[in-house]
Structure 1
Amino acid sequence: MNAEVPRTAVITVDEFGIVTGWNRGAERALGHTAEDAVGRRAGELLMPEGGAPFWDGPPERDDWLGWLSARCADGRVVRARGAGHRLMDRATRGPWVLVASVEDAAGPRPLPQEVERAVVDWLFSVSPVAVTMYDTDLRCIRQNAAMTRMSGISEADRKGLRLPEVLSGPDAAAWEQRLRRVLETGETAFSGEMRGRLPANPDRDSVFLASASALRGADGETLGLCTTVADVTQQIRSRERLTLLNEASTRIGSTLDVMRTARELADAVVPRLADWVTVDLLETLLRGDEPGPFSGVVALRRAANQSIIEGAPEAVRQPGEVDIYPPYTPAVRCMATGRSTRHRVTDRDMRDWLARDPARAEKFREYGFQSIMGVPIRARGMTLGITMFYRRTKDPFTEDDQLLAEELVARAAICLDNARRFDRERTAALSLQQSLLPRGTPAQAAVETASRYLPAGAGRGWRATGSM
């Protein structure tokens, strides 16, 4: 049996169709050394029969099973029975692992039991692809180590549970309905973007891509389902952040009006980044003056409010009104250091602030705010104000959220400073223009001279006509 093992080829092919791995079994079966094979196009060495190479197929295709024509080092072409699996999620063209058994004069060689056992062990212990097996009642009968890590629930605890008992959210029930259809029709199903929360991350929605295929016995009877799942949350959020930045670049700073620019910033981030946003600016900015140093209690004028609730009822101050921030508040500390901050309502700084501000604390309780983030509005080395972001959900602001908020606020800050400079220069120009105007009405010298030579009373009834 051991003599058969080297004839089992294990080959990896990347998303560009280039051979990246070539084991000793492939060397023995085809004659090409790993040094010769790695780096070559897979199509030069292997070609699936009856169709295009599976590694060039659509991204949603994750598995392949069939016959290949393989070219040996001595020029011979032999047949091989192979099974391939894509290692990454179907959102991208990920790398493939191909396990193939090379045919010789005695006919095709099946995979030895040791190899089959090794492949199964790899799938459930080492594979980065999350796999779950369900019975015909759609209850879990087995999951691999990758699924355990992703879900946050052990295989022992998962057994017997249906998907909606593990994944919260309406997408779980919808996906389970599609799984039932797979059992009925045998057709492979793909989930698209499926959102929900798993025990591993109960406070934050995650996004998944999944596929499901029927498991059949030797007689063709359906025994259950096998699903593969990929967590694509970071890719989706990166795409959403890029979209938000692109949209904000066209929306923020459409005019040289300070208040309107502040409103455009607030409008851009609600609801995609926060549930509630306030933009407060220093009085010097609104007057067009150079912002000066500040310490102690800081008075800021509210420039914009925006909320996911119509009318922004969370507001303690309305646009145009002044809000007072004591030195111990996160807002003043953020402005003083010039660095963004993130807080949960349970943090000591937040508790101290709300304990001394009953009106604001009541708003927090009424609308269920759980976390806040402060980003100083700074441009050209000067602090112009503060933008505060609030969330009601238990999802805290992350480092990625902070980086996104800083980028958005930085863009708005430049626009606000440009508007301030424009107001200052316009005010200076108007002042200069007024200073050059004459102080009084000049005397009408010609009229005064003529009046000296008119007889007494001659001017009565006379009316200037504007012409001679």
Structure 2
Amino acid sequence: MTTISLDAVTLGKQLNASDIFDTAIALLDEQGTVAAWTHTAERLLGHSAGDIVGRSAALVLPSLDEATPTSAFVERCRAENGWPGATAVRRRDGRVLDVNVRITALHGQDGSARWLASVTDAGMPSGDAVDGSVRGPLLARAPIGVGVRDRQLRSIYVNDVAESHDGLSPDRRLGRRFTDVLPGANAETIEAVMRQVLHNGTTKIHEYRTWLPTSQGAEKPFTVSFQCLQGTDGESLGVCVISADVTASWQARERLAVLDRASARLGSTLDVMQAGQELADLAVPLLADYVAVDLEQSISFGEGPPVGISATGSRLPAFRRAGLASIRQG
């Protein structure tokens, strides 16, 4: 069974809205009618919840028009197990916007189904940015975990990917709160965030890390967004929770952090011996448990005895120890 270490959750670190999931989210029923709307959808497409909830998905998906039977939309989603792709949408103000569209199938406890429509501005940078952050179009291509919770924070809909992100099977998740299945301070923190989202009708984005079984890999970082779902009169209906594996962006940020530290420490001196020791100090424990920096004798050195290296007794170039660091003192 998949396990999750709640001690790894670090919900206090909120990201900028542009880092991930700056995405219009709409919840559609089995007939393709908009059942819930979000502030991000209103910001991107210009329609308020009152304008669009209860109307056809044709207003969300520009490839449909009002004359298109919703059954055609539903059948296409079922046939393709969703609906990813690029298209164009006309905002309420008449402007045409190129977007990435993704439809995700959600399943309920009673066998009912919903579709989550995510629409992202295609003009945003795709994939990982140079600063290591993850941009919105990730939703159009990466596996994402999706769940919908009601006003009491009980799980009512979930997709097939969510289990791989937090270890909760649909049977354990549906009809229950986080604190019912993942008791602890961090589960309470997650629910506090969702209550805040419900109360304010806002979106919050956080990062956390989990430890999964060896067969699925070691510690993995995720980014999760909490968006308030709104009804026809703007009332809060529940919370949409979307999570994505951001291992690549996490590693990119760590690499940039290493480069920043290296440039600051290694560029501070022209002394070869000092630079060698700084290199060893930088590498431990970041890259290794033990590091020795040995430089060939022909390089201009300061004072200190050379270290001779000869496995067979033959004469080999002498090396001088320029740096030494270990995770063990002494």
By relative contact order (CA 8 Å, sep 6+), the higher-ranking structure is 2
Task: Name the TM-score, length of structure 2 as normaliser.
Answer: 0.49
Larger radius of gyration: 1
More helix by share: 1
Task: Name the TM-score, length of structure 1 as normaliser.
Answer: 0.37
More strand by share: 2
